[in-house]
Each structure stands twice: as C-alpha cells, then as structure tokens.
Structure 1
Amino acid sequence: MTKEDDQVLSGSDHPVAGAACLPEHVAIIMDGNGRWANMRGLPLLAGHRAGAEAVQRTVTVAIKRGVKWLTLYAFSSENWRRTPGEVADLTGLLRFYLRHKVAELSREGVRLRIIGDLTRFPPDIQEEARRAEQVTMGNDRLVLVLALSYGGRADIVQAAARMAQAVARGDIAADEIDESLFASALLTAGMPDPDLVVRTSGESRLSNFLLWQSAYAELVFLDTPWPDFDEAHFDTVLEIYSRRERRFGARPA
C-alpha cells in the first residue's frame, strides 16, 4: 500500500467513495479465518463460521454502495490439500449456505454465479450450486460470484485448450486469437474484469486468484483478518480505490 493508503486506513472515519469512482467489480481474497480463531483460542471451524458471517455483511454493504459485481475467493484449488477435517468443515458450511441462504440472497436481488471446478465437490453440493444459479438468474441488483475449487492458472490452461480445440476443428484460425477471444474462453466469460482486488489478513499476494482478469486491477492489502471485515473496512477500500489513478499502461497526461 502507498503512504496515502496508510493514512486512509489509520483515519478515524471511513468516507465512502463517490459514485463516479465506484468500482463496478470488487474481488476479495478472504484470508485469515484460521488466524482469527487462533488469536481467540477457538477451534478452526469457529473461524470459518465467523468468515461466513463476514460474507453476509459484505454482500449487504456491496448492495448498499451500488457495487454491481462481487467475486469472493471462497475455496481455492489448493484448499483441497488441507486436512480432511478442515475440508469437511468448509464443504459443510458451503452446503448449509447453498441450502438455506440462497432464498434470502434472491429476495435482495442477488444473482449467484459460480466459477471453478465443481466436479471435485460431492454431487449434492454440485446440485445445490447449479440450483442456486438457476433460481437467482433473473436478479440484477448484484452479481455475487463464488470462486469454488478455482485456480487462476487452471483457468488459463483450460481456456488455452479450448482455443486449441477450436483451431483443430477449423472453427477459428490461430491468427484470429486475440485477448478478447481468449477471454471468452475463461470461466469468467461475460464478466467485467475486477477493478479492485482486496486481500485481508496481512498477506500481499494473489495466490492464484483471477490472474488473467486482474492484469489492471487495483490491489489493496489489509491486515484485518477476514472475520473482522465489516462495513467500515469496505468503505475504506472504496476510498483507497477512489484515490488511485488508473492508467491501464498509459503515461499520465
């Protein structure tokens, strides 16, 4: 973060960015559930449950602030390497929220979209996820994208494979492939690229999240663990974003 960003974070108030500089798409790497639980002497599951509550708060404030797309890194492709007990806890929470919270999201005008390799989840979770996408399809107040068993490198590889197959079939010529066509083969096809990527809990890396899509995103890293992320933190990152000059590779005027 820049010195200016540090000043915003250390301020006593949390001003909200104006509509003119509001990011259309905010993506969040939700890190720190385990640290949050450890600091309180609680089991890891308590941290994940508190993190799920932070998700609900974040969706609410995103709607209030007028953000149109919110992507949450809910379960990375690397998370499968965690202990069987933690994976079971995470998938159990996912199952609960898909079964019991989707109707509430729909009433708020939220459309749910899921990206990632759902085939690695149990069949009932796959079914619940597709059902949730279907029942919320007509909503347009906020698109909530859950990245589940998602990896940025795998996303790029599968897109490259799709392009190669299209060339082999004769559907396109190799020299017709440009950035726009390639992006249409990514799991995020039809989505705007994230304007702002936020990571909580003190780490300063993307961890294989939306690697292609984040090429020109503004990055903000917070020390706050994800379960403590609230409306004030959301407003802080919006304010930080509003102070950034987005150049997309061009020189300043």
Structure 2
Amino acid sequence: MADTLDIGGKLLLLGAGKMGGAMLEGWLKLGLDPAGVGVIDPYLPPEIAGDLSVKGIAVNPMLASFGTPAVVLLAIKPQMMDVAMSSVAPLFGSDTLAVSIMAGKTIASIAALLPADTAIVRAMPNTPAAVGRGITAAVPNAFVTADQERAADALLRATGAVEWVADESLIDAVTAVSGSGPAYVFHLVEAMAEAGAAAGLPADLAMRLARATVAGSGELLHRSDLPAATLRQNVTSPGGTTAAALEVLMAENGLTPLMERAVEAARRRAGELAS
C-alpha cells in the first residue's frame, strides 16, 4: 500500500518534545515512511529514542550522512534556534523547505540563519494538537512553492486543522487567540468550578461539572455547523436561568470587553517577544 503522506523526500525534525513528538506520531499514523525521517533531539529520553529507532527512524543521525531533506521542521525552543540552525543549515538544498513552529521567531530571523532564498513557513499550533484537535495558523514566505505549501499543510494537519494567512503580522493575533486560547478555556473551567463552590456545591463536584460542561460544549461546537451564537441561543430560554446569567456575561462590562483586553495583552506581548 502506498504511503498516504508523501512530502517528496526526507524529513528532518528538530525537537521531539510535546509538540514535535505529537506531530511525528500523527505523521506516522498518516503513513509517512519512517525510513525517510530523522529526529535531532539530544535531550530525547532513551526509551523514546529506542522506540523511534525500532520504527526505523534515524535518531540523532550523523547529519553529513542524512542527505538533503525535503523538509526541516523546527520544533525546538526559540532560545536554541541559533545553535540548532548552525548545525543543520549546511544540509539545506535549493528545494528544502523550513517549517517553523517556534514561538516568537519571525520568518526574517529564521531566514538570517539559512541560505539565501530558502522557502520558509512559519506556523503557530496550539496544545490540543497533542490529542489531534489542534488548530494551526501558517504563513509562507515568497519562496514557498505551491507543492511545498501543500506538503507543509499535510504535515501540519496531522494534529488538527490548518488556516493559512497571507500577512505574517497576523501571527501575533493568532498567538493571542488560538495559541494562548487553551489557557483561557482552562481558566474558564477553574472560574466555573469556583463559582459553583461559592453557590454551595462541594468543590470536587463543582470541578467535575465544570470540566464535563466545557468539554461537552466544545465537542458539540466541533460537530455542529451552526454558529456559536446560534448554539448559545438554543440553550437560552427567555426569562430562564441561562438568560439571567447571560445578562451578566453580555453586559457592557461583561465577558466580551474582558476578552478583548486579554487578547490584546497577549498580542502585544507576542510582538514584544518577536522583536
């Protein structure tokens, strides 16, 4: 049976931590040939390194013998970029694509460490990628071909949906909404549980109710084609309990302006880190 994920050559993964490891697992499930994959991660636990080797993946190979990859995916910590890129830059051929999921590192900062005119895709995933339900926004530079964009899209889709944007400046806003967004949702669960306890529920029961409600509502949103506003309205009976709560949440000083301030704070900080 032919591979279902073919990127037209070898793939070199720099960093197999939580995000890089989740992506690698997704690629293998989609049929990427492990014999064409190399992983560079000096901090990889021995048991994980051994498991990857058994699958046929080259773990921390001699780079000179690896050959020219079609794609180099950068899943390392941003502060490790300079050192890591200096070792792999000589592998880049004229058709090698760099895909970066490093937070805060711009295309220009990556390009400065690679051969001139290298094709680069900058992507911002989020942590639900670990369970195959992530959302990634990606932006290509001017040297990315249509085939390379399709390869990047296939690799990024291994852990969830992908949205392409044309303007790199939007990545800071993406970071503020979807990159940081899971933390907002987790805090919502905390806040709901604390409110339930304040209303008289045992704290452990309040937390179970909050967790299940948010998880179930997210799954309903995922499966439904209806707008979020329509799903909200479907739960809200005129004059009922939900309506009473929404009067507070949708007031002039309610959840929307609070979220706008939170997202703007994250967007501003993302820009500061990138510069």
TM-score normalised to structure 2 length: 0.29
Considering only CA atoms, is the larger Rg found in Structure 1 or Structure 2? 2
Query: Comparing both structures, which one devotes a greater share of its residues to helix?
Result: 2
TM-score normalised to structure 1 length: 0.30
